[in-house]
Amino acid sequence: MASSYKLFINGKWVNGSSGKTFRSTNPATGRLLGVFQEGNEKDVKKAVAAAEKAYPKWSELPPPTRAAILFKVAELLKKDKQRLGRLVTNEMGKVLPEALGDVQEAIDVFEYMAGEGRRFFGHTTTSELPDKFAMTIRQPEGVCGLITPWNFPMAIPAWKMAPALICGNTLVLKPSSDTPLCATALVQILEKAGVPPGVVNLVPGPGSTVGQEIVKNDKIRCLSFTGSRGTGEWILANAGLKKVGLELGGKNPIIIMDDADLELALEGVIWGAFGTTGQRCTAASRVIIHKKVKARFLKMLVSATKKLKLGDGTKSTTDVGPLVNRAAVEKSARYAEIGKKEGARMLCGGKAPRGKGFFFQPTIFSEVGRNMRIAQEEIFGPLLSLIEFKSLDEAIAIANGVQYGLSSSIYTKDVSNAFRAIQRLETGLTYVNSSTIGSEVHLPFGGVKGTGFTREAGIEGIDEFSHSKTVYVDYSGKLQKAQID
């Protein structure tokens, strides 16, 4: 019999107000993993009240004291990494090495942000007046609402929670309803590490109730969301006067020049397109390939893709795990049909195998026009479009010709090609001779255009969850008026 799990509010595991529950199942096998209390608006308000009550004491702790708890979280994650990795695979579906990487990201970001507890820097500068001191200090926002997706069920909550906590905020977390068990396990570790009651609150439940209340609640001063562009636009229209951070996906290109190392590029394309079954916001969904090497590369790519084995991510023989749910399978199948109707040529894949699990074959389209829907819209599945070009200028124009701007990549041996791409690609991340995925926690992560404007991780992760306050100290002993002669 599967275990039952509760909400976490004010340091206690409690039942939800709705009396309703929902289930989490393994997307590869259909096995029931747990039954969860379904939160609602009333539960969010209780969590916000608890976070408000805990905020003064938590925010007044010296940052190194808060850091000690974050370091403890990292240590507990390390000790439990194997179990947590298997949990990610079982609930989300990604293959075990990737799932362990998901947990490692959580470890890394808690360690990094704990270190920021001793680097909570402001600035000092000169004043335009004598006997006057000027500086800035950094302060927390207050109660933060965090809404996280299912594709990185440990890493993304950690990317938001760690900087929010080290800055002195308290928080309410709403995880995806596809991966509530991973979020519960993470919060259990925070509880074990000694996070005081009310500082961290967990309210799983639907976006239509829990999510909307978090967005609209005027006691929540800072909101961080990772998810779809449409939901992000709704959040901006409804959040009111609160600080909002958005990371809204991508349509990420890999440019392969005629001088590229094609074997290296092949590894990057396979990893970028079909790692996590294409369910990454940084997934490589477009390969923009030079006309001179297209035929050769296509032959290599199709051959390698057909060898990929679908299956349960816990098995060492599996290369590609399941999609997260049936709706994701149906979406991938729908876009495969759209590609064929638009006139693209399907070279492999395009079907959902029969049997248990939410699987979809890795799919490659060639002869793709830059304005086709499969080349413009985020699919979030294992579908890859190849688009031909003749010059670097054309390749960059194709790469930039979408509404998103998250990640990009170029394979070339020419340093001038690389630096022109770095300068002109309209994305928040650019990789040279590497795939579109692989961000590190000590560097900022985020995009431009329709991807949003958030920068998470690195020092800019601190900026997302805090603000600078300007301080003047006048020790002249008289009233001095700035800008007044």
Range of 237's domain?
A: 3-248+452-470
Task: Write the CB contacts of 191 (distance below 8 Å, at least 6 apart in sequence).
Answer: 8, 11, 200
- Give the mean model confidence (pLDDT) for residues 389-414: 98
The span from the CA of 267 to the CA of 284, in Å, is: 12
Please give the distance of CA 450 from its chain centroid, rounded to a whole number: 15
Task: Report if residue 106 sits inside a domain.
Answer: yes
- Neighbouring CB atoms inside 10 A of 370's CB total 18
Q: Are strands 32-37 and 21-25 parallel, antiparallel or unpaired?
A: antiparallel
* In a shared domain, residues 362 and 310: yes
Shared domain for 130 and 146, answered yes or no, is yes
CATH code: domain of residue 236: 3.40.605.10
SS3 content of the chain, % helix, strand, coil (to 5): 40, 20, 40
Boundary (domain end) residue, out of 385, 402, 432 = 432
Interval 76-85 mean pLDDT: 98
Other beta carbons within 10 Å of 280: 24
d(CA 8, CA 34): 16
281/219 same-domain check: no
Task: Give the SS3 label for residue 21.
Answer: strand
Please give the tally of structural domains in the chain. 2
pLDDT band at 104 (very low <50, low <70, confident <90, very high): very high
441: in domain:
no
Instruction: Provide the CATH number for the domain around residue 335.
Output: 3.40.309.10
pLDDT band at 462 (very low <50, low <70, confident <90, very high): very high
User: 387 CB contacts (<8 Å, ≥6 apart)?
Assistant: 286, 287, 288, 289, 368, 369, 370, 375, 398
DSSP at 478: S
Q: What's the mean per-residue pLDDT of the chain? A: 97
Question: For residue range 120-164, what is the model confidence (pLDDT) as tens digits?
Answer: 999 999 999 999 999 999 999 999 999 999 999 999 999 999 999
Strands (E), 267-419: 284-290, 345-348, 363-366, 383-389, 407-411
Same domain, 50 and 68: yes
Catalytic residue among 281, 378, 388, 456: 281
User: Which of the residues 247, 378, 388, 464 is marked catalytic?
Assistant: 247
Residues 171 and 196 in one domain: yes
Q: Is 289 helix (H, G, I), strand (E, B) or coil?
A: strand
Tell me the CA end-to-end span of the chain in Å, nearest whole number: 79
Distances in Å between the Cα of 305 and the Cα atoms of 44, 150, 273, 349, 372 are: 45, 25, 10, 9, 23
**Position 250 pLDDT exceeds 70:** yes
170: in domain: yes
Cβ pair 181, 13 in contact under 8 A: no
Kindly give, in sequence order, each residue whose CB lies less than 8 Å from that of residue 386, ignoring residues fewer than 6 positions away: 286, 287, 289, 294, 298, 301, 364, 365, 366, 367, 368
Integer Cα distance of 292 and 272 in angstroms? 22
Tell which residue, 42, 70, 234, 224, has the closest CA to residue 147: 224
SS3 state at 224: strand
The answer to whether residue 269 is domain-embedded is yes
In a domain, 476, yes or no: no
**For residue 271, what are its two tokens?**
């990893």
333 three-state secondary structure: helix
| pLDDT tens by residue, 308-363 | 999 999 999 999 999 999 999 999 999 999 999 999 999 999 999 999 999 999 99
Please say if the pLDDT value at position 484 is more than 90: no
**In this structure, is residue 78 part of a structural domain?**
yes
Query: Do 372 and 280 lie in a common domain?
Result: yes
Burial (Cβ within 10 Å: 0-12, 13-18, ≥19) of residue 216: middle
**Whether residues 200 and 264 fall in one domain:** no
CA distance 484 to 200: 48
SS3 197: coil
| 180 domain-assigned | yes
Confidence band of 1 (pLDDT split at 50, 70, 90) = low
241 with 286, same domain?
no
Domain assignment of residue 55, yes or no:
yes
Any bridge partners for residue 348, and if so which? 364
pLDDT in tens, 34-61: 999 999 999 999 999 999 999 999 999 9
- pTM for the whole structure: 0.96
Query: Is residue 283 domain-shared with residue 338, that is, in the same domain?
Result: yes
Question: Does 229 share its domain with 293?
Answer: no
Check whether residue 238 and residue 257 sit in a common domain: no
CA distances from 239 to 23, 173, 230, 233, 407 (A): 29, 16, 14, 10, 27
- The pLDDT of residue 288 is 98
* pLDDT band, very low/low/confident/very high, at 485 (cuts 50, 70, 90): confident
Q: Which residues in 294-322 are b (16+ Cβ under 10 Å) and which e?
A: beebbebbeeebeebebbbbbeeebbbbb
With a cut of 90, say whether residue 282 has pLDDT above it. yes
Instruction: Over range 94-123, report the average pLDDT.
Output: 97
Q: Is a pLDDT exceeding 90 seen at residue 287?
A: yes
Same domain, 172 and 282: no
247 is catalytic: yes
pLDDT category of residue 2 using cuts at 50, 70 and 90: confident
Pairing of strands 383-389, 284-290: parallel
Residues sharing a CB contact under 8 Å with residue 373, sequence separation 6 or more, in sequence order: 335, 338, 339, 342
Asked whether the CA dihedral 62, 63, 68, 69 is positive or negative, the reply is: positive
Write the secondary structure of 355-380 as one string of H (helix), E (strand) and C (coil): CCCCCCCCEEEECCCCCCHHHHCCCC
